[in-house]
Amino acid sequence: MNNVKEKLVFALDVPDLKSAKALIKELAEYVGVFKVGKELFTAVGPEIFKVIKENNGKIFADLKYHDIPNTVASAARVLVRHGVEIFNVHATGGFEMINMTAKAIKEEAEKLGINRPKLLAVTVLTSLNDEDLKSLKINETTSDYVIDLAKLAKSAGADGVVCSPNEVEQIKKELGKEFITLTPGIRPLWSVKGDQKRVMTPAQAVKNGVDYIVVGRPIRNVENRVEAAKKILKEMSE
């Protein structure tokens, strides 16, 4: 069970520090990594990183940077100084943006004598499907586009990608087992899809070889969150 706990990333999508603290305390025993997304970070800033560290948690800064290379690399240096374990940028920011960021975090971590965070590139959001790509004038299937972006990200120095569990087997086959896959769009059979379109159950995602699964609402929006987390860990270990 402990092994699957390390794979479980919980999305702290709440609007204030008080709610985030309560969730961290409630779920620390069942969750490997806490994900800080745009809502919480915009509300409380880097203070949340301190709180997670104080509770011996690992941090995934899900800030999905997408800007010119110098801006992203500079922001990433700050994340290194905050001691985050994982962070991400959009793969569509391009080779130079990812490459400059990868070099910057290595340099910054060496300067501080600490481990550098893992750099992941977001491929195609799990709320998008083939039809959505067509409307964006992208003439590829979602899975082909994800693989192309994953190849670009790897060649630029990323440690892995954010994708849906549907693409994991292919990514591992083409880019190697060590290339990290972190997958939102996780929906146990007892939960609702909401705005997620490319979804999979925790059990199937683990079978497909994902390194991390991200779960938010299926745990956060139920009455007994500890029970929901335990149920997911059980499904992951079956």
Ligand X SMILES: O=c1ccn([C@@H]2O[C@H](COP(=O)(O)O)[C@@H](O)[C@H]2O)c(=O)[nH]1
* Residue 67 bears catalytic tag: yes
**Closer residue to ligand X, CB minimum distance, 126 or 143:** 126
Nearest to 33 by CA among 57, 12, 51: 57
**Closer residue to ligand X, CB minimum distance, 31 or 214:** 214
Give, for 152, the enclosing helix (H) or strand (E).
helix 142-156
Among candidate residues 5, 21, 58, 64, the one labeled active-site is 64
Contacts to ligand X from residues 122-141, by CB under 6 A:
122, 125-126
CB of 125 to ligand X, least distance (A): 4
Binding of ligand X by 13 (CB under 6 A): yes
SS3 content of the chain, % helix, strand, coil (to 5): 50, 15, 30
CB of 114 to ligand X, least distance (A): 26
- Binding segment toward ligand X, per CB under 6 A, in 43-51, 103-111, 152-160, 210-218: 210-218
- Binding segment toward ligand X, per CB under 6 A, in 21-29, 48-56, 103-111, 118-126: 118-126
Rounded Cα distance, 157 and 160, in Å: 9
CB of 113 to ligand X, least distance (A): 31
Range 169-173, long-range pairs (CB < 8 A, 24+ positions):
169/208, 169/209, 170/143, 171/146, 171/147, 172/209
- How many helical (H) and strand (E) elements, i.e. helices and strands, does the chain have? 12, 8
Catalytic residues: 62, 64, 67
